[in-house]
Amino acid sequence: MTDPQTAIDAETTTSERDPRIHERTAGEPQKGIPFIGAGPGDPGLLTVTGKELVEAADLVVHAGSLVNSDLLEAYCADAEQVSSIGKDLEELVPLMCEAYEAGRSVVRLHSGDPAVYGAALEQMDALEHEGIPTYLVPGVTAAFAASASLRTQLTLNGVANHVAFTRPQGKTLDPADDHIGEFVGMGDVTTCIYLGTHAIEETMERLLEDGHDPETPVAVVYHASWPDEDVIEGTIATIGELVEAAGYRASALVIIGDAARKAGYERSYLYGDWTNRTATEGETGD
Ligand SMILES: C[S@@+](CC[C@H](N)C(=O)[O-])C[C@H]1O[C@@H](n2cnc3c(N)ncnc32)[C@H](O)[C@@H]1O
């Protein structure tokens, strides 16, 4: 078996586009190992295709505590279940490879959507290099569940025209690459911070030092869609202390911006007089 790093290097340096891009639609079951977004937690938020694939699996490699055990219990109690936590590529890739080559049905279950802070691609490239086809099945990312919990929209007419998915500086991100302050400074952006619960006080302090409005709304949704979901609402000035007091250090989504409090939005054109005109100015909405 090729060393996963060598496989990744080979896959990332090729300029050839994968012909499957034009042959398959997203969501269409395909040959190979599916990398499935399990959604934010509630088993009901797994897609229909994801559920069917998980139900048919012999081996489910999942993202440990980030995937709700109720989902595993409900859809694949009889399958072999392996947590990926604490396993490196050198262990995970042969595990999936050998099971697939032995004729077993293998699925890889990521939390939320694999395309958002998921590290799916490196596993897929290493498997592909071994001749094992893989594909993605999207899921509901945490920001969408958090926005539903807050009963708001991430884009909101007159409030936020843009959404940023970001994370604070941490083990894998250089301080120079931390753009949270820039997104917040743009004003009409809803900033969704993943992997940032432990650093919330520091992040807010940095925003205050940089002169951002202390009254800017911030909501923290812990375990969105899980039975113990919790919503903490505050501002740049107050949220750090509130989250610290609640004791959350992980598994929460931080949303910064007026959309978090659905403050001051305007009725959209979509359901106004404009609706009756033909759409000549591009896409509208739903
Ligand atoms: C490694 S990232 C994975 C994100 C995932 N791929 C997604 O699309 O939601 C893990 C981070 O996602 C966020 N997260 C995942 N599930 C969550 C949930 N149910 N509620 C709130 N935040 C969640 C937290 O910020 C957590 O630190």
Number of independent structural domains in the chain: 2
Q: What is the mean pLDDT of residues 235-246?
A: 98
Q: Which helix (H) or strand (E) holds 107?
A: strand 106-110
- pLDDT of residue 167 exceeding 90: yes
What number is the average pLDDT over the span 80-103? 96
Out of 167, 173, 231, 251, give the residue to mutate to test ligand 1, the one with the largest number of ligand atoms within 8 Å of its CB: 251
Interval 190-203: pLDDT, tens: 999 999 999 999 99
In-domain check, residue 167: yes
Contact 263 CB / ligand 1 (< 6 Å):
no
Residues 133 and 31 in one domain: yes
Rounded to the nearest angstrom, the distance between the alpha carbon of 210 and the centre of ligand 1 is: 27
Could you tell which of 47, 136, 165, 195 is best to mutate to test the pocket of ligand 1, judged by most ligand atoms within 8 Å of the CB? 195
Q: How much of the chain, in percent, has pLDDT values that exceed 70?
A: 94
Residue minimizing CA distance to atom 5 of ligand 1: 112
Q: Is 4 in the pocket of ligand 1 (CB under 6 A)?
A: no
Residue 171 in domain: yes
pLDDT exceeds 70 at position 75: yes
- Ligand 1 centroid vs 263 CA: distance in angstroms? 25
- Mean pLDDT value across residues 137-158: 97
Q: Do the domain assignments include residue 160? A: yes
Q: Are residues 119 and 155 in the same domain?
A: no
User: Does 126 lie in the same domain as 69?
Assistant: yes
* Most informative mutation of 70, 84, 111 for ligand 1 (most atoms within 8 A of CB): 111
- Whether 207 is covered by a domain: the verdict is yes
Residue 268 has pLDDT above 60, yes or no: yes
Q: What is the pLDDT of residue 7?
A: 79
Query: What distance in Å separates the CA atoms of residue 102 and residue 204, rounded to the nearest whole number?
Result: 51
Residue 133 lies in a domain: yes
Q: What is the CATH number of the domain that holds 32?
A: 3.40.1010.10
CA-nearest residue, atom 15 of ligand 1: 142
Out of 42-46, 131-135, 274-278, pick the least confident: 274-278
Average confidence score pLDDT of the chain: 92
Judge whether 266 lies within some domain. Answer: no
Query: Residue 38: inside a domain, yes or no?
Result: yes
Contact 93, 130 (CB under 8 A): yes
- Residue 36 domain boundaries: 26-139
Looking at the fold, whether 38 and 133 belong to one and the same domain comes out as yes
The answer as to whether 275 is a domain residue is no
The predicted model gives 117-133 an average pLDDT of 95
Q: Are 190 and 257 in contact (CB under 8 A)?
A: yes
For residues 114 and 155, state if they share a domain.
Answer: no
End-to-end CA distance of the chain: 48
